[in-house]
Amino acid sequence: MIVLGIETSCDETAVAVVRDGGEVLVNLVYSQADLHARYGGVVPEAASRDHLRKLPCLAQEALAAAGLGWDGIDLVGVTYGPGLIGPLLVGVTYAAGVVLARGVPLVGVNHLAAHLFAHRLGWPEVPPPFLGVIASGGHTLLVAVPRWGEYRVVGGTRDDAAGEALDKFGRLLGLGYPAGPRIDALAEEGDPGAVPFPRPMLESGLDMSFAGLKTAAVYWLRDHPHTPAPDLCAAYLEAVVDLLTEKAIRAARRFSLPRIVVVGGVAANRRLRQVLPGRVRERGFEVHFPPPELCTDNAVIVAACAHHRFVELGHADPLSLSPDPNLSLDGWA
């Protein structure tokens, strides 16, 4: 079964062609980062217009790269939430158009569930149960996954997402948008112990707070304006890594889950990928990261999730499928 995956929930226009839920034929990701960089963050209206401009070309390009015509597509999977309403509308409307023209099934995908499917693509031989850590620019969640298709959110951030905390910090340092990859690179040259950034709520519960960390950075920069950027980045990143690591272990223990799976854009971070596994294994849990290119937003994960939903859960959506900017992952079915 050939699935066309479409992703437009934020600032990446992405189209993928995936065979049988796991074999990636084409993976195209067009980032709008340059468009939004001058504003320091995503401008929703500009994002919608750019998706509208780019998506039809990208879909044509994906089919051509797969050596297929429109009649080669058996199913269309599209992100319908959570995300920005305008961008989501572009993807969902385009998907419905393809479905209407071709008479194939439509499957709406929860973007957060799609992030978890990066694990299934990267580690098909390692099934649930697991504790999923979704750390992206818009969300940071701890999710108990007893089996594919069953998602229980057990913790997460009360304010900023982990990626958002990195992006806002990067903005303070003038690193451009998104700052995560720049912080990743600069931190390699810095000392993680250089600045005593706080670890808010480290010892309590399964919730996290990253806004306090950003405030601490604002005050530190005011009082120590000459701290080298690599040290600042290494120390700030270390606080984010410590928080994600400890909360993930705490959640896995609380819900007796044998393994921890880390996904979302922040899971591409090198320091997190270096530090978290050792600490997790020390406490007796297994740990898996998908390949970095499946961690950041893409449509392969959307196609994989849609395939699972259609083939294993028997679910398809009507043409009237509406975007839901606030779609929750907890109990999504």
Residues that bind ligand KG4 (CB under 6 A): 10, 136-138, 163, 166-167, 178-181, 184, 264-266, 268-269, 296-297
> Measured from the CB atom, is 249 or 301 closer to Zn ion?
301
Rounded to whole angstroms, what are the CA distances from 245 to 44, 313, 316?
32, 32, 36
Determine, following the binding rule CB under 5 A, whether residue 297 of this chain makes contact with Zn ion: yes
Buried residues in 30-58 as b, exposed as e (16+ CB within 10 A): bebeebbeeeeebbbeebbbbbbebbeeb
83 versus 155: smaller Cβ distance to Zn ion: 83
Q: Is 136 in the site for Zn ion (CB under 5 A)?
A: yes
Task: Please state the three-class secondary structure of 131-199 as a single string.
Answer: EEEEECCCCEEEEEEEECCEEEEEEEECCCCHHHHHHHHHHHCCCCCCCHHHHHHHHCCCCCCCCCCCC
Omega before 181 within 30 of 0, i.e. cis: no
CB of 85 to ligand KG4, least distance (A): 15
Calpha distance 151→113 (Å, rounded) = 8
For Zn ion, which is the closer residue by CB, 208 or 216? 208
CB 179 within 8 A of CB 167: yes
The distance of closest approach from Cβ of residue 163 to ligand KG4 in the complex, given in angstroms and rounded to an integer, is 2
Whichever of 233 and 299 has its CB closer to Zn ion, that residue is: 299
13 binds, options ligand KG4, Zn ion, none, Cβ within 5 to 8 A by partner type: none
Crossing angle (nearest 10°) for helices 229-254 and 211-223: 160
Instruction: Identify residue 97 by its one-letter amino acid code.
Output: G
Q: Which stretch binds Zn ion (CB under 5 A): 13-21, 49-57, 136-144, 324-332?
A: 136-144
CB 199 → ligand KG4: shortest distance, Å? 18
Q: Among Zn ion, ligand KG4, none, what binds residue 81 when CB lies within 5 to 8 Å by partner kind?
A: none
| 184 versus 246: smaller Cβ distance to ligand KG4 | 184
Binding span for Zn ion by CB under 5 A among 91-99, 116-124, 236-244, 292-300: 292-300
Give the C-alpha separation, 242 to 199, whole Å.
Answer: 8
Of the pair 246, 297, the CB lying nearest Zn ion is at 297
Q: Which residues bind Zn ion (CB under 5 A)?
A: 136, 297
